[in-house]
Structure 1
Amino acid sequence: MLPLLAQGHLIPFLALARQIQQTTPSFKITIATTPLNIQLLKHHHIHNHIHFAELPLNPNAENTEKPPLDGILKLCQASLISKIKEQEGYPPLSYISVWSNLPHINSDSDKFSVQPFPQDYKFSSCHMPRYLREANGSNDWSRFLVSQLSLSMKSDGWICNTVEEVETLGLDLLRKYIHLPIWSLGPLRPLPLKGKETSMASDEECIEWLNLKDQRSVLCICFGSQNTISTCQMMALAEGLEKSETSFIWVVRPPLGFDINGEFNAHEWLPKGFEERIKNAQKGLLVHQWGPQMKILSHKSIAAFVSHCGWNSVLESLSCGVPIIGWPLAAEQAYNAKMLDEELGVGVILTATVESVVSNEEVKNVTEMVMDQESVMGKEMKGKKN
């Protein structure tokens, strides 16, 4: 198994490894990843039949305590692309000229359609992260993705961490497009990975706080392990939450431009006195760096989830019957949020990307609309939670 190096990809791969090991104990399973990721995975009790192989990186990377994902990818990229080019039948780089015909580049409006989706199925450029909007085929990400997709088309089939009933349209179009077998194995939901920031004490604090709240009265907020929002957005989110008077549990990380794994400075990045007010009023709980997301989402007091709509978070939220307020930030998250809103009817998009301007009034209105179990949207989402 060779997952992408980000933690969000390690989680489902580890879950799949465990499932294979349980059903076929004679198999020897090896997960190939970086030394730092192996240390992370070894925090778990892993069966003897699940092994690890270290991927060699630039020696300088090993001296970095927590190299960022983009840094790791740049270190690996040159060697990956050179090896991929050696594969028989690898398309020449002129293949990337098709990027100049991307529909969002040629569209005169923010809305655009994508083949083979139906023409009335529109996507929004403003919901796409900057690197996708500006991709032209010659940048690093374009070259990396073209090489990966080209090789994947040579496989015997695809295994997807999804559910047929959830992605009916997408899976149908994908099968017709790639002409390969596709097996949906989801949702793969293992125990959350434990880093050094996680402790049983923080788990207990979260659950004890939630136990004091009424059923379906609390909003969960988390933007994942690799994503964060801007300082202005963080301020607007906090102000909107106070205005709505909604109870919430918020996993906070430093905003864009700061070390995402660094210490959180509430006095600088949140409204003055915010943390003290919500604590004294028992209205909110700030969880620094990491929280037990599955335990939180499955708690009876949780009514909705403000999420970046990373796929692991989407599956966890759907599995727990919790509607999502989408705030996509990167990768395919905008498309996940769109599906939750327009296809499944269990989500609504508040805003998108770290560049958007969101007001505290927007946060207040959307929060109240989703949290209100008697509103039209609240009733519809509640009716679909099973």
Structure 2
Amino acid sequence: MEARKRQHVVLFPYLAHGHINPFLALAELLARRHADLTVNVVNTHFNIQNINASFPPPSLSSSVRLRSLPFSPAAHGLPPDAHHFAAVPVQHIPAFTLACNSLQPAFEQLIEEITEEDGRPPLCIIADFFFPWTASVAHRLGVFHSIYITGGAYGMAVYFSLWTHLPHRQTAADEIPLTDFPGVLIHRSHLPKQLLDADGSEPRSVYIKDMLSRWSDADAMLINTVEEMETTGLQMLRKVVPVPIWPIGPLLISSPYTPNADKDGIFEWLDSKSPASVLYISFGSQNSITASQMMELAVGLEASGVQFVWAIRPPVEFDQKGDFKAEWLPEKFEERMREQGTGMVVHGWAPQLEILSHASTGAFLSHCGWNSVLESLRRGVPIIGWPLAAEQSPNAKMLEEELGVCVEVARGNMESSKAERKVVERVVREVMGGGERAKEIRRRVEEVRELMNAAWKEGVGSSFRGLEDFLRAAVSNSTRASKVEGRRTHGESESHGWTSV
């Protein structure tokens, strides 16, 4: 009997590191579990080059193919190096987001090329939630289409409701009720600056509201979370997005490429510390806190006496690619921490997943971006929350109030956002100490970690079954489309069914 012909799936992440990595994790998962699939990861030429550099062969499975699309930032009035979100100056973010829509013609052409090469359309297209227009491309060819949410359910449901209805414009109160979710209140300070300034008429609001309304054009939604971990958040998201939603998390991937020359020094230092005694601090790859907040954090850390590794970047109001100035920290802070063996300040990139996996890491002071949340909880590390942007504040709220795995220490990085050294000192000691609060947080973290592990238990885990159900739906759609077009025999259509994932 002729061997089964491989079938293509297409994955298209947004042009940002925090989106590309969860897509690569999904690509690897599909490739490992299904020898019959060719997984095409699509992005701009620049970002595909970066993926190749970060995951040099044979890091990715042989059935994962990287496909590039042309993109010229300068053609859209952007700085010439604005090829990905982290390189885009704040004032250019709306233009960059709109410029990404220019990828549609090239993406359509790529799908047509894959269809011509294979003699049939892809099994499914899985696109970033920033690219809902890909549904129209898929449906023209009868291809199953899914949005992939790389964030958490609660945070994205709140994000959806806030941008759709702008409820902060309808009340002067600090506690803002959400139109879609009676009983859910969001404090005004949870709102990032872009949302606070939105009135519904400016281009950013129009774009985001249109994007959110088009999520329902998809046939399905995948989300990088765990059913048992985010029961409330998933109920909320399912209320506002009328398509099947399948949680398939946690999906994580770590690059084998390590651009920091002092990686060995970091782990030598960590190796010298006691278990769970070090606080890891990072605000992500795309953001930072203000200079005054940085000073308060440093003073509070030193007063706490807790050992730390701090992946640091220039304050948010300065050039993020520029040199770091000693004046942004207390006098001789780095030298003093190094001499005392109390702290290590790492400028720029740090191997986050490996640091969180180290036995000496006891907590993570984080911006509560969803990838960082999953990495921390998957490694059993409690979180000290300092959310800055997007849906990070709702993430922190859910982690603290519903899961009990986080304590918020500060919020935001606007001019009005405050950080207090005394609060830093207290919270860091509370989470890193051996008191009852710390023990309870660690107990809750371990419970969540067990839920994450159970989600991928072969045959019965909720994420295992979620991916299985998703693929069954895609195969069923493919079979129906083939019958309608009369392009496949009964035997051929049967050859692409799966009994397990």
Task: For residue 14 of structure 1, report the CA deviation from its aligned partner.
Answer: 0.7
Task: For residue 147 of structure 1, report the CA deviation from its aligned partner.
Answer: 2.5
Task: For residue 177 of structure 1, report the CA deviation from its aligned partner.
Answer: 2.7
Q: Corresponding residue for 2:167?
A: 103
Q: Corresponding residue for 2:88?
A: 68
CA distance in 2, matches of 1:378, 1:189: 26
Is structure 2 residue 247 aligned with structure 1 residue 184? yes
Q: Pairwise mapping of residues 21-32 of structure 1 onto structure 2 (< 5 A)?
A: 21-32=31-42
Equivalent residue letter for 1:298: S
Is structure 2 residue 112 aligned with structure 1 residue 53? no
Which of these two proteins has the greater Rg computed from alpha carbons?
Answer: 2
CA distance in 1, matches of 2:25, 2:265: 26
Q: What secondary structure, in the 3-state scheme, does the structure 1 residue paired with 2:422 have?
A: helix
Contact 1:192/1:294 (CA < 8 Å) preserved in 2? Answer: no
CA distance in 1, matches of 2:135, 2:235: 33
Q: What secondary structure, in the 3-state scheme, does the structure 2 residue paired with 1:51 have?
A: strand
Q: Corresponding residue for 1:297?
A: 356
CA distance in 2, matches of 1:154, 1:100: 16
CA distance in 2, matches of 1:240, 1:99: 35
Is structure 2 residue 46 aligned with structure 1 residue 14? no
Task: For residue 116 of structure 1, report the CA deviation from its aligned partner.
Answer: 3.6
RMSD: 2.6
Task: For residue 6 of structure 1, report the CA deviation from its aligned partner.
Answer: 1.4
Per mean C-alpha deviation after superposition, the further-off stretch among 166-175 and 327-336 is: 166-175
Is structure 2 residue 443 aligned with structure 1 residue 383? yes
The 1:304–1:85 alpha-carbon spacing in structure 2 relative to 1, beyond 3 Å, is closer
TM-score, normalized by length of structure 2?
A: 0.69
Contact 1:5/1:69 (CA < 8 Å) preserved in 2? Answer: no
Is structure 2 residue 328 aligned with structure 1 residue 307? no
Q: What secondary structure, in the 3-state scheme, does the structure 2 residue paired with 1:373 have?
A: coil
Q: Corresponding residue for 2:493?
A: none
| Length, aligned pairs only | 372
Equivalent residue letter for 1:340: L
1:143-186 CA-to-partner distances (Å, cap 9, x unmatched) read 22223222221111100001112211011122233231111111
1:312-339 CA-to-partner distances (Å, cap 9, x unmatched) read 0000111111111111100100010000
Task: For residue 107 of structure 1, report the CA deviation from its aligned partner.
Answer: 2.4
Q: What secondary structure, in the 3-state scheme, does the structure 2 residue paired with 1:8 have?
A: helix
* Aligned equivalent of 1:41, options 51, 55, 60: 51
Contact 2:288/2:313 (CA < 8 Å) preserved in 1? Answer: yes
Contact 2:24/2:253 (CA < 8 Å) preserved in 1? Answer: yes
Instruction: Give the gaps of 5 or more residues in structure 2.
Output: 1-10, 105-132, 138-161, 447-501
Is structure 2 residue 374 aligned with structure 1 residue 360? no
Is structure 2 residue 391 aligned with structure 1 residue 370? no
CA distance in 1, matches of 2:429, 2:355: 20
Q: Tell me which stretches of 4 or more aligned residues in structure 1 moved more than 6 Å.
A: 85-88
Q: Corresponding residue for 2:206?
A: 143
Instruction: Give the gaps of 5 or more residues in structure 1.
Output: 89-97
CA distance in 2, matches of 1:22, 1:214: 37
CA distance in 2, matches of 1:338, 1:268: 33
Task: For residue 81 of structure 1, report the CA deviation from its aligned partner.
Answer: 8.3
The 1:205–1:85 alpha-carbon spacing in structure 2 relative to 1, beyond 3 Å, is closer
Contact 1:161/1:185 (CA < 8 Å) preserved in 2? Answer: yes
CA distance in 1, matches of 2:176, 2:280: 32
Q: Corresponding residue for 1:91?
A: none
CA distance in 2, matches of 1:299, 1:233: 28
Contact 1:57/1:76 (CA < 8 Å) preserved in 2? Answer: no
The 1:79–1:289 alpha-carbon spacing in structure 2 relative to 1, beyond 3 Å, is closer
CA distance in 2, matches of 1:62, 1:20: 36
Is structure 2 residue 176 aligned with structure 1 residue 112? yes
* Aligned equivalent of 1:238, options 298, 301, 306: 298
Equivalent residue letter for 1:17: A
1:253-306 CA-to-partner distances (Å, cap 9, x unmatched) read 1111222233322x1211111011000000000111011111111111111111
CA distance in 1, matches of 2:25, 2:283: 21
Contact 2:31/2:37 (CA < 8 Å) preserved in 1? Answer: yes
CA distance in 1, matches of 2:420, 2:298: 10
Is structure 2 residue 276 aligned with structure 1 residue 216? yes
Equivalent residue letter for 2:171: S
Task: For residue 102 of structure 1, report the CA deviation from its aligned partner.
Answer: 2.6
Percent identical among aligned pairs is 40
CA distance in 1, matches of 2:100, 2:356: 40
Is structure 2 residue 94 aligned with structure 1 residue 80? no
Task: For residue 78 of structure 1, report the CA deviation from its aligned partner.
Answer: 5.4
TM-score, normalized by length of structure 1?
A: 0.89
Q: Corresponding residue for 1:261?
A: 321
